[in-house]
């Protein structure tokens, strides 16, 4: 141990350890043999020279065994190249020619693309610029309206601007057109149904409304009938004594019938056949005809209501007022009173009907195409079978078979 403690001995041992480590490092750094390097020894341990490593050049026909060998002694695993499978019987000619029919790929059916971009349900949208139903527009008649002639158009003008939520809905001076189709009710003319508002630039808007009476008292208050249905007018009578004439004619008819001479028979009282009874009967019929004529005139021309031009009235809106739908000739509404969501729903229904019709048509076209393809394939198979049966080679080959 004393020897190991000497510096010289320690230096010698260190140098020996370094040399051993260097030798081990250089030995482990030798290049490894390649993975695909040819073997240098055979199975018996005999060395293989370079002339025995040449690959064998051999041509092999289809269906024969093929062997890959290194040299003359070593043999690698054998594999067989499979021969081509014989064609299916449907493609073999019965005459023995074994010729493949050149038919090409089968045709693909025509594809029909059906798309339906419509939403499953209709969802109406709220209008942006509108006034709620139940608005009162003040207006005045421009033309006089009579109940005796309902064909006379009702023409008026809006007399005051109408605002809703700070926005002008309809300006004063807008023209209003309607038709009195309900006739006379007491001393009024009812005007309800479709009203057409015509702006100064020619745009039209249709909406359902009712005309209400407007009664303004001299002190600025409103009368008790203000806002009642119909426009109040004046009752006009062409013949003030028409009712009296009808009563007199009815009375004369009854008197003439009672003054006739009658006699008792098995059927009861029967007028006698004389000149006096003939005159009384003719007078009775004349009085009855005159009474009926006066009654009919009284219902039509003798008694009617006239609403003069300048009469003020209210226009009560029964639907939501949407000025954005106003258009030239009312084309946007189709010339009828329709709201924006009604027009959108009609458009949706038309589009849905068109999509359904397109889908049905496409299904019919696809079915017709499928049937045509089936008929075509059936005809081709029938023609192929008939050609094979009529071939002379098939008869010869069948007769030569044992």
pLDDT over 50 (residue 74): no
Give residue 131's pLDDT: 94
Q: What is the pLDDT of residues 338-370, one digit of tens each?
A: 988 888 888 888 888 888 888 888 889 999 999
pLDDT at 296: 74
Supply the pLDDT for residue 102.
52
Q: Which two tokens stand for residue 149?
A: 């002639």
All structural domains of the chain with their residue ranges: 136-235+305-338, 242-300
Highest mean pLDDT among 52-61, 176-185, 362-371: 362-371
pLDDT tens for each residue of 291-311: 787 777 666 666 788 899 999
What's the confidence (pLDDT) of residue 402?
46
* Poorest-pLDDT segment among 23-32, 322-331, 338-347, 352-361: 23-32
User: pLDDT at position 107, please?
Assistant: 61
- 336 vs 98: which has the higher pLDDT: 336
pLDDT confidence of residue 299? 63
Predicted confidence (pLDDT) per residue in 236-256, tens digit: 876 666 677 777 778 877 877
3-state secondary structure of 166: coil
Question: Span 209-226, mean pLDDT?
Answer: 90
For residues 233 and 339, the answer to whether their CB atoms sit within 8 Å is no
Residue 227 has pLDDT above 60, yes or no: yes
SS3 content of the chain, % helix, strand, coil (to 5): 35, 25, 45
Residue with tokens 């009855």: 288
Q: What is the dihedral of CA 358, 362, 363, 369, to 10 degrees?
A: 160
Mean pLDDT value across residues 205-225:
91
Strand bridging mode 175-179 / 192-198: antiparallel
Mean pLDDT of 168-188: 87
Statement: the pTM of the whole predicted model exceeds 0.75: no
Query: In the prediction, which pLDDT does 392 show?
Result: 59
CATH C-level class of 136-235+305-338: mainly beta
Average pLDDT, the chain: 77
User: Coil, strand, or helix at residue 22?
Assistant: helix
Query: Tens digits of per-residue pLDDT, 90-126?
Result: 444 444 454 445 556 666 555 555 555 555 676 778 8
Query: pLDDT at position 84, please?
Result: 53
The number of CA neighbours under 13 Å toward the Cβ of 252 is 19
Contact criterion met (CB below 8 Å) for 142 and 156? yes
CA dist 21 → 8, 11, 342 (Å): 20, 16, 99
* Cβ burial, residue 136 (10 Å; 0-12/13-18/19+): middle
Q: Are the C-beta atoms of 129 and 323 separated by less than 8 Å?
A: yes
């Amino acid at each position: 141990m004393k020897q190991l403690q000497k510096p010289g001995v320690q230096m010698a041992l260190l140098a020996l350890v370094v040399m051993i480590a260097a030798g081990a490092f250089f030995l482990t750094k030798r290049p490894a043999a390649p993975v695909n390097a040819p073997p240098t020894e055979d199975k018996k341990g005999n060395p293989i020279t370079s002339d025995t490593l040449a690959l064998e050049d051999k041509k092999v026909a289809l269906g024969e065994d093929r062997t890959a060998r290194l040299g003359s002694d070593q043999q690698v695993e054998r594999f067989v190249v499979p021969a081509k499978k014989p064609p299916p019987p449907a493609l073999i000619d019965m005459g023995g020619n074994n010729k493949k029919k050149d038919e090409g790929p089968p045709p693909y059916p025509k594809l029909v693309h059906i798309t339906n971009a419509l939403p499953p349900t209709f969802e109406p949208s709220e209008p942006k610029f509108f006034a709620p139903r139940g608005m009162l527009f003040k207006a005045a008649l421009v033309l006089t309206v009579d109940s005796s002639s309902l064909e006379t158009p009702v023409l008026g003008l809006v007399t005051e601007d109408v605002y809703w939520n700070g926005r002008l809905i309809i300006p004063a001076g807008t023209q209003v057109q309607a038709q009195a189709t309900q006739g006379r009710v007491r001393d009024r003319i009812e005007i309800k149904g479709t009203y057409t508002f015509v702006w100064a630039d020619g745009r039209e808007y249709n909406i359902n409304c009712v005309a209400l009476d407007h009664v303004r008292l001299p002190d600025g208050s409103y009368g008790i009938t203000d806002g009642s249905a119909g426009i109040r007018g004046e009752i006009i009578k062409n013949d003030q004594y028409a009712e009296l004439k009808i009563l007199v004619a009815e009375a004369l008819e009854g008197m003439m019938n009672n003054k006739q001479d009658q006699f008792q028979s098995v059927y009861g009282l029967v007028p006698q056949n004389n000149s006096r009874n003939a005159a009384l009967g003719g007078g009775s019929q004349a009085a009855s005809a005159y009474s009926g004529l006066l009654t009919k005139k009284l219902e039509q021309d003798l008694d009617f209501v006239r609403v003069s031009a300048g009469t003020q009235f209210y226009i009560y809106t029964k639907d939501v007022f949407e000025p954005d739908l106003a258009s030239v000739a009312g084309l946007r509404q189709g010339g009828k009173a329709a709201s924006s969501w009604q027009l959108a729903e009609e458009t949706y229904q038309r589009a849905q009907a068109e999509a359904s019709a397109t889908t049905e048509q496409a299904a019919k076209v696809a079915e017709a195409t499928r049937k045509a393809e089936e008929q075509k394939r059936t005809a081709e198979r029938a023609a192929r079978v008939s050609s094979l049966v009529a071939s002379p080679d098939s008869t010869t080959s069948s007769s030569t078979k044992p």
